[in-house]
Chain A
């Protein structure tokens, strides 16, 4: 059965992509629908996730070279990006700080355990950073990894309609926001929209990774100071 993992994943992705192209509603995000269908399939057939993951590992393995490939749109827009370095840094800094403060506030008000709060704090950033930051401030890395993926799916599905409704219409600003809110998954979506979106999304993917790693421990200790 293990050999089925890869063809079924690819087949579901393209089938749902076909649906999404005809019914372009955010909820019909092909990644989201493929993940839900595969979960249902695995549970229904009582297949352990590890078995599936081994069968589909080629795709997971290709993720790293795909992130390296993001250098291409970045390079193609590098002149423009260099000229906007300060605004880019300011916007990403504001994004990371907002994300940290909002997440701490919301989870605190909802009465989550401190370990859960620490796990959710770096939710908007790429998985390896989020897991390490979480481990450093006493959270649960596995929970971080899950939430990061969920945030990525949510952001990739709904970012563009939300940005349009709230009048963020420049492709550069849209791309940057997608990378800042939904890391590599947002960037994967941005590159589907246009090369320009993809380039700016790659910029915020990088900047927000660095800024989150630097700022999370600081903001989290401030939070601990305030609540104690």
Chain B
């Protein structure tokens, strides 16, 4: 079990590393983690890695992914003054933007696949 998680972790890190290399070589900025996701997807599709070789470790990360955002979220405290000075625009854009995007994407896709 422990050994398996190490293997899963190594595969995830290999894909992430490949993502970082590719991101570095690209002429524009794109998140290396998302490229790493596409690398792993490509490796699974082509059979370079098998699903069962990453599944266990990956599922643990996915299950607790929300936890991983907490330290970054706490970082908002460093910008409370900036937020305070611009709060009407920030709150307005956040609330209205998020609400409308949810409904546009959700409804549009629901109609399109019917």
Binding site for B on A (CB under 8 A): 5, 9-10, 12-13, 30-31, 34-35, 38-39, 42-43, 49, 52-53, 56-57, 59-60, 62-76, 78, 84, 86-88, 90-92, 94-95, 98-99, 102-103, 106-107, 110-113, 116-117, 120, 123-124, 126-129, 132, 140, 142-143, 145-147, 149-156, 158-159, 162-163, 166, 168-170, 172-174, 176-178, 180-182, 184-185, 187-189, 191-192, 198, 202, 204-206, 209-210, 213
Contacts and interface: CB of A to CB of B under 8 A. Distances in A.
Given A112-B89, A126-B31, A177-B102, A70 B68 contact: no
B72 A65 contact: no
A173 B106 contact: yes
A31 to B, nearest CB: 5
Contact of B44 (A75, A184, A192): A75
Interface of B: 9, 12-13, 15-16, 19, 28-34, 36-41, 44-45, 51, 54-55, 57-59, 61-63, 65-79, 82-83, 86, 88-90, 92-110, 112-113
Given A78-B45, A155-B102, 16 more contacts: A9-B67, A63-B69, A65-B13, A66-B61, A69-B12, A72-B51, A84-B113, A95-B105, A99-B97, A123-B93, A143-B79, A146-B76, A156-B66, A162-B103, A173-B106, A198-B62
A87 to B, nearest CB: 4
A143 to B, nearest CB: 6
B108 A120 contact: no
B42 to A, nearest CB: 9
